[in-house]
Amino acid sequence: MNPADYSWWLASRASGVVALILVTISVGLGLTMASKIVRKRGMGPMLARIHEQTALAGLVAIAVHGITLLGDPWLHPGVKGIAVPFAMAYRPLFTGLGIIAGYLAALLGLTFYLRRRIGTMLWRKMHRATVLVWLLGLVHTLGAGTDGGSVWLREFMAVTAVPIVVLFAVRMLRRPAPRRAVA
C-alpha cells in the first residue's frame, strides 16, 4: 500500500480533530467569560482575544476538514456531499449534522464582526447557540469520525465535556431575569 493514497484522508482526519479541539477551547472560554467565573483584573480582554483567535482557527480547520475530503479516493463525496447536509452517502445522518455544525459555526462565529450592525442584544442571543455547534461536532465525530471509537478521542471528549456542561449550567442559572416593562 502506498501511504500517499491515504494523504487526503489523513489531512481531513487531522483537521477534523484540530477543529474539534479548537471549537472546544473556544466554547469553553466563551462560557467562562459569560459566566463571569474568572474575575482577575485584565483577564477578560486576554480571554476574549484567545476566544476569538481559537474560534477563527476552528473555522479554518472546519473548512480544511471538508475541503480535504474532496480528494479522498475512497469516499468521493463531491461538492454536494460536503456542502449539502445529509447528501453524502457515508453515514448521512452524522455527516449531515457535521455540515450543519460547520454552517452554524461560520454563521455564529462571524456575527461577532457584525454585532454593531445587528445589535449587541441580538448578537448575544444568537451567540448562545454556539454550544450547539460544539455538541453537533461531538455527535458528528462519534458517528462519522474514523477516530470516533478510539479511546484517546473519547477520553478527550469526556474530559472536556464535563467543564463545558458545568459552565453551560452555570451560565444558564446566572441568566438575568427578563426585564419587565414599567407602566
pLDDT at position 90 is 94
Asked if 63 and 103 touch (Cβ cutoff 8 Å), the reply is no
pLDDT at position 50 is 96
pLDDT at position 118 is 93
The grid coordinates listed for 24 are: 472546544
| 131: number of Cβ within 10 Å | 19
Q: Cα torsion at 67, 96, 138, 155 (round to 10°)?
A: -80
Scanning 5-150, the segments in alpha helix (DSSP H) are: 7-35, 43-69, 78-83, 92-110, 115-118, 120-127, 130-144
pTM of the model: 0.90
Contacts of 54 (CB under 8 A, 6+ apart): 22, 23, 25, 26, 29
Alpha-carbon distance of 159 to 70, in angstroms, equals 32
User: Distance of CA 16 to CAs 24, 61, 94, 104, 167, Å?
Assistant: 12, 7, 14, 16, 24
pLDDT tens for the chain, 183 residues long, are 677 778 999 999 999 999 999 999 999 999 999 888 887 888 889 999 999 999 999 999 999 999 999 998 888 899 999 999 999 999 999 999 999 999 999 999 999 999 999 999 999 899 989 999 999 999 999 999 888 889 999 999 999 999 999 999 998 887 666 666 555
pLDDT at position 41 is 86
pLDDT at position 37 is 82
SS3 116: helix
